[in-house]
Amino acid sequence: MLLARENGFCFGVKKAVELTEAAAETGRSVHNLGQVVHNPTISRRLAERGVKVIRSPADASDGIVVIRAHGVPPAVRAEIEQRGLECIDATCSLVLRAQRFTKQLADEGYRVVILGTPDHPEVVGLKGYAGNDFVIVESEEEWERLPRMKKTGVVSQSTQPPWAFTALVAHVATIAQEMKVFNTVCPVTVKRQHAASELAEQVDTILVVGGKNSANTRELVNLARMQGRHAYHIESADEVLPEWIAGQDTVGLIGGCSTPMETLLQVKARAEALATAEGREARAAAPA
């Protein structure tokens, strides 16, 4: 089993989880405004500590509301305060940076073009800073349909692949009279993607561990498959199937930015156990 050079929590996820756990230790009611991070293991761990996931501030009658790593629109934060709830902001510092740049573009009169998935919580938050003139694009087909624009500003959901952001900026440069660009792609996510590509150069099969609703984890799967590798997106060790390991000299392993090392090590142990069992069966079946 070959582990990628980049694994474990990114600093934004680590901060969000630690802040939520610290709030739970106060003994007060603690609410996460949506999953604090997109990882089922972490969600279960926090639930065991009494942390409840809510959809809106109205669902919390008292206690503490933790804003998750993805951030929220300014109106949501204002509602938390209006309801007299204590607010702990666990928004990733890089997402806060993207929010500031998005607001700056809107304040300066630029039409904001956001690269991202429309219903992703980070993008929902960015929309709240983009004023009344913005557009969200996720694919080349969508940005090819953009009209000519006078003043355009470009930002990105932090987990978008850097090549997509580069391609979008190149296209907008051909249709905008004036353009301002803030590269808000997360450098930690980029490092993880590079690690996935490096891993794909060394193995034929890769296990990618992370929440099924984790954008950065799904991108790791896409990168491996784009390089012609077998990539399996799983959330836990129980999902590893023997046929994925059979006949493989080495299998690669990488986790998304919100996947704890303990989960990766559990997957590693199961994959290695399956490989060992296969080896024993092969030896037993071999002629004397």
Per residue in 260-280, pLDDT (tens digit) is 999 999 999 999 999 887 655
Output 1 or 209, whichever has higher pLDDT: 209
Helix (H, G, I), strand (E, B) or coil at 177: strand
* Domains assigned to the chain: 11-91 (3.40.50.11270), 94-185 (3.40.1010.20), 188-285 (3.40.1010.20)
Burial annotation 101-135 (CB, 10 A radius, 16+ → b, else e): bbbbbbeeebbbbbbbbeebbbbbbbbbbbbeebb
- The mean predicted confidence, pLDDT, of the chain is 94
Sheet (strand 252-255) strand order = 2-3, 252-255, 205-209, 230-234
pTM of the predicted model as reported, rounded to 2 decimal places: 0.87
Q: Is the pLDDT of residue 90 over 70?
A: yes
Q: Cα torsion for 187, 192, 197, 198, to the nearest 10°?
A: 110
Instruction: For residue 250, name the pLDDT band (cuts at 50, 70, 90).
Output: very high
Tokens 């030896």 locate to: 283
**Is residue 201 annotated as part of the catalytic site, yes or no?**
no
Cα 206 to its chain centre, rounded Å, is: 18
Amino acid of residue 184: T
Catalytic member of 21, 108, 122, 141: 122
What pLDDT is stored for residue 280 in this prediction? 57
User: Which residues, at least 6 apart from 226, have a Cβ–Cβ distance to it below 8 Å?
Assistant: none
User: Alpha-carbon distance 269 to 98, whole Å?
Assistant: 38
Q: Is the pLDDT of residue 282 over 90?
A: no
- 60, two tokens: 């919390």
Instruction: For residue 283, name the pLDDT band (cuts at 50, 70, 90).
Output: very low
